[in-house]
Chain A
Amino acid sequence: MYKIKEGMLAWILHKITGIAIVAFLIFHIWSMSKMSKGPEAFNAVIETYKTPLFRAGEVLLLGGVLFHALNGMRLILGEFTAWAMKQHKLLVYLTYILAGALFLVGAWFMWRAEG
């Protein structure tokens, strides 16, 4: 099914980013569920989200999410249209380029966002 070389790395990256996103989802829902207990609990959770380490992690997460989302769209296109199946190679490279470009722009604005 995934014998095409160009798709192999993308397929592995899809699995790795998927696992990483689920790991974050577990942490995210668990920590958010503590926020309903009042303003102090709300702010305590938020303070951990504001630390540089956490914010750096979120920038990484943006990269993972961008790749997973765009690669997922490519997979759907390939499964439902003959055109995308034919343009497989091009679309794999386009996924890397688009995810990479959006990541650089997105990471920049995300990191410097203050207000």
Chain B
Amino acid sequence: MSSRGSSAWLLQRVTGALLFITLGTHFYLYHYFMGPGMWGFDSIGFGATDLATLKAMMESNPEMAKYYKLAHLFAAPLWKVFDVTFISLGTYHGFYGIKAIIDDWVTHDGWRSVANWVVYICGVVLWVMGIVAVISFNPELF
């Protein structure tokens, strides 16, 4: 095994282990901390951009308070760092996994090379789309 192959092998394990934590957090937040009823733009507080409106919304329904806190979390820099990390780990791990399957199954050198390039380009394009969506997300600019 080449040294490049073994470092890619190790990286697949490391990103996999980190995804265990980041995907777990992601899944918990969207499916258990808040359910589908809270997925709307206004219901998670994005509509209330000024503090006075937000405060009035929270006072009218104290149960909603935790979701409004979450709305601010989404636009917070630390949360964006989390999402950028998560998307990077996910696209790398996922597309490297597809490449590994191609390496196992496509025996023709030329076709394997073509397939790997397609996977590589798709992975990079998707990564850029994800990063741009997360970084540019700012409900106050809407």
Interface check A109, CB cutoff 8 A = yes
Q: How far is the CA of A58 from the CA of B17 in the complex (A)?
A: 22
30 A-B residue pairings within 8 Å (CB atoms): A19-B101, A25-B90, A25-B94, A26-B126, A29-B133, A32-B130, A32-B133, A33-B132, A33-B133, A35-B137, A36-B133, A38-B142, A39-B142, A42-B41, A46-B39, A50-B39, A55-B36, A58-B31, A62-B27, A65-B23, A65-B27, A72-B16, A72-B17, A109-B32, A113-B31, A113-B32, A113-B35, A113-B37, A114-B35, A114-B36
A79 touches B13 (CB 8 A): yes
B31 touches A115 (CB 8 A): no
A69 touches B20 (CB 8 A): yes
Interface check A110, CB cutoff 8 A = yes
Majority secondary structure, B binding face? helix
Interface residues on A, range: 20 to 34
Interface check A73, CB cutoff 8 A = yes
Of the listed residues B91, B101, B133, the one surrounded by the most CB atoms of chain A closer than 10 A to its CB is B133
B:1-58 near A, CB below 8 Å: 13, 16-17, 19-20, 23-24, 27, 31-32, 34-42, 46-47
Q: How far is the CA of A44 from the CA of B42 in the complex (A)?
A: 13
CB within 8 Å: A-B pair count:
89
Q: How far is the CA of A4 from the CA of B47 in the complex (A)?
A: 56
B98 touches A22 (CB 8 A): yes
Per-residue 0/1 for A49-80: is the Cβ within 8 Å of any B Cβ (1 yes, 0 no)? 11000010010001001000100110010010
In whole Å, how far is A46's beta carbon from the nearest beta carbon of chain B?
Answer: 5
Q: How far is the CA of A114 from the CA of B142 in the complex (A)?
A: 27
